[in-house]
Amino acid sequence: MPYVICEPCIGVKDKSCVAVCPVDCIHGTDDDTQLYIDPSECIDCGLCEPECPVDAIFMEDEVPEKWQNFIQINADYYKK
């Protein structure tokens, strides 16, 4: 079950998570509004979650109800 980056990342993109991810599965360009976790590459290590200064990262089954759509948003990013 992958981790998911939710709404608080929008406009922040701190990238502390990118620095700690052991499999380099967190991406986003300067033009993107937020960062995204590749659900097919994430190994569920949880290292990124405490690094996020705005608490935007959750395990998939712990994503708050109001941000459930971000599960699909993260996955869709890697289907482009």
Going by C-alpha positions, the residue among 75, 80, 63, 74 that lies closest to residue 33 is 74
What's the min distance (Å) between Cβ of 20 and ligand SF4?
A: 6
Residues 8-67 within binding reach of ligand SF4 (CB under 6 A)? 20-21, 23, 25-26, 37, 42-48
The smaller minimum CB distance to ligand SF4, of residues 3 and 77, is found at 3
**Strand ranges, E, within 1-80:** 3-5, 26-27, 36-37, 57-59
Residues of this chain that interact with ligand SF4 (CB under 6 A) are 3, 20-21, 23, 25-26, 37, 42-48
